[in-house]
Chains A and B, each alone.
Chain A
Amino acid sequence: MELLTAIAIGILFAIGVFQLLRRNIIRSAIGLIILANAVNLFLLSTGAYIGVEPAYVSNTTGVLSDALPQALILTAIVISMGGTAFVLSMLYIISARYKTSDMDEIDGLKN
């Protein structure tokens, strides 16, 4: 499971960074979203696989799972959802103004 998660995080990071570097502004926003998921998965893997029994449930034996990383990614997911919504709304305004999604043609700040 840990190996699988590690490979998944690696693949997500690779895709995210690749999309981030594209010239298409919408693709780069999607890269950001994928990267957010990769980071959340990394945060989950910091403590979730040490024990597999759910914590705070009575009558369990064995090593309890660490609940804190799950609480952390819950917060991080909500924040990145808000951030993503905001990025997409600004993207909408910008691409409506320039009628393009090519970063090289969005040049208002260059002068």
Chain B
Amino acid sequence: MLYKHLPLLPIVLPLTGAVIALLLSRSRSLQALWTLATMLTALASSTWLLAVVWRSGQPVVFQSGGWAAPFGISLVGDLLAAVFVVMSQLVLATGVLYAIGSKDSVVRYPTFYPLYLMLATSLSGAMLTGDLFNMYVFAELLVISGTVLTAVSDDRYGTEAAYKYFYISLLASFFMLLAVGCLYVSYGTLNMADLAQRIAVDTGRLLLPGIGFLMATFMVKSAVFPFHFWQPDFHTAAPTAVSAMLSSVVVKLGVYGFLRMTTLLFLPQAETIRCLLVVLGVVGVIFGGLSAIGTHNVKRMLAYSTLAQVGFILVGIGWGTPLAIAAAIVFAFNHSLIKAAMLMLAGYVASRAPVKSAGFDVVTGVGRSIPVAGVLFFIGSLGLAGIPPTNGFISKMFLFSSGIDAAELGSLAFIGMGSILTLVYTMRAFQRIWWQEPSGGAKAKPGGDHLLAPAILIVLVLLLGLWAEPLVQVAKDTSVWLGNPADYIQAVLGG
């Protein structure tokens, strides 16, 4: 096949870029520009991959090292992986833009940009790989680069939040290793296509512990309700450019894992997993929404909001009809754009506040002298709450209509309530920052972070709200693909 090396590009480009960026650490501006160029090239390559995969109608599989499928590591660019990689790299590219315009001292840390590129590498790698152990390696790389970026944050408690996260993530990676061991001893393979084929015909002795450990891993990765406790601290303490990435695209790795588990790996057990996902999702929506209302910090509020929004996506995966899975994919894509933009705007407000903090007592009234950010934040809030001219409306409408279609009215009522909570907390934040009088005559500082990156994201939010057909069509096609795991298995093992 002509394009068979294509799944390699989104992984290798940022990886090479990271090494070269490390060599450029003497000149900060050159390093930043190099990182931006690398991210844009990687974004172009992953978009190319998506275009090729979507047009040709079959997955692009690369067998690394020329080893045939179940023995070597295969990189599989199917439509799901391609959509998620494009989403990640789009948001990561705007994150570089934000970092370049940021006044945080952390972006002048010599290894900031190389680590950032490693984050991009590992995220693309974990999504494109077709091998369970390889996914573990990339997930570990993701955790380490994200943690280092937070540990050097300007926030006083960055190191502690990073420690908390890293501790939990190490436990999660032990869970993943245990799952790898359980599946290997039962089936003698770690290739996901091969595993799926074998699991479909025979129940191994250690299959159920394997499923449980893998569930726990992905639940920690995407901060699903009972394993969420590290997430608000971590996403609040991280530097803005990084926390916008962590809260939008990095948590999507768990979502991707759940999609793979229910549509490819564990098809005979998928019903049980889906049941669990619906319950966890509903609890996450309600708990995240209520906690977000109770916070005193804009960034922390948005971190809890991620908990709720991931809950919506899990409910979509849990309903499990083709329409609901398509809705979950659309929701994941749109949420990444909105949440990254909102966190960048919160960071921008914090950078203009008298004391650098995103606490409500500090930022109250700061917004009165920065109306442009207010407009962007307002549109972002509409997106988060799901109100018409934005893409958030498309994703919520699609999700709710798929719920009605699947006749899941009980969980639908719960997430409907949860979606009203979104409106409460975003509007309260908007009102406190842009409407209320500043307390004690605090004025916004002149200068601050640059607004270009959140502006680009908000434009995309509006654009995808007004012209949603392409994304919805891709998501629908993806869910059709996910309905035929035999094609995936055939492409990996027979190619």
Contacts and interface: CB of A to CB of B under 8 A. Distances in A.
B185 A46 contact: yes
A46 B181 contact: yes
Contacts of A82: 144
A90 B170 contact: no
Interface in B153-201: 156-157, 159-164, 166-167, 170-171, 173-174, 177-178, 180-181, 184-185
Given A35-B174, A93-B159, A108-B160, A86 B184 contact: no
B140 interface: yes
Contact of A90 (B166, B171, B178): B166
B233 interface: yes
A47 B186 CA distance: 10
A108 B160 CA distance: 8
A2 B17 CA distance: 46
A75 B166 contact: no
Contacts of A80: 170
Contacts of A28: 167
Secondary structure at the A interface, as helix, strand, loop or mixed, is helix
A91 interface: yes
Given A79-B140, A86-B147, A39 B174 contact: yes
Nearest to A107: B160
B160 A106 contact: yes
B133 interface: yes
Given A43-B177, A47-B185, A75 B170 contact: no
Contact of A87 (B160, B163, B174, B185): B163
B151 interface: yes
A76 B167 contact: no
Contact of B144 (A39, A86, A91, A97): A86
Given A72-B133, A87-B166, A109 B160 contact: yes
Nearest to A80: B170
A26 interface: no
Contacts of B177: 39-40, 42-43, 76
Chain A CB count within 10 A is highest, among B133, B160, B166, B181, for B181
A67 to B, nearest CB: 12
B137 interface: yes
Contact of B180 (A36, A43, A109): A43
Nearest to A72: B133
A39 B178 contact: yes
Nearest to A76: B177
A48 to B, nearest CB: 11
Given A108-B156, A108-B157, A109-B160, A32 B167 contact: yes
A42 B159 contact: no
A51 interface: no
Contacts of A36: 170, 174
B166 A86 contact: yes
Chain B CB count within 10 A is highest, among A93, A108, A109, for A109
Contacts of B237: 109
Nearest to B157: A108
A54 interface: no
B170 A87 contact: yes
A75 B140 CA distance: 11
A72 B140 contact: no
A76 B140 CA distance: 10
Contacts of A79: 137, 140, 173
Interface string A80-103: 101100110011011001000000
Nearest to A108: B157
Given A43-B180, A87-B166, 18 more contacts: A28-B167, A32-B171, A39-B174, A39-B177, A39-B181, A40-B177, A43-B177, A46-B184, A46-B185, A69-B181, A79-B140, A82-B144, A83-B170, A90-B166, A93-B159, A94-B159, A94-B160, A109-B237
11 contacts: A35-B171, A36-B174, A43-B177, A46-B184, A69-B181, A72-B133, A75-B137, A80-B170, A83-B166, A86-B147, A91-B163
Interface of B: 133, 136-137, 140, 144, 147-148, 151, 156-157, 159-164, 166-167, 170-171, 173-174, 177-178, 180-181, 184-185, 233, 237
Interface of A: 28, 32, 35-36, 39-40, 42-43, 46-47, 68-69, 72, 75-76, 79-80, 82-83, 86-87, 90-91, 93-94, 97, 106, 108-109
Closest A-B pairs by Cβ, 5 of them = A46-B185, A108-B157, A90-B163, A43-B181, A46-B181
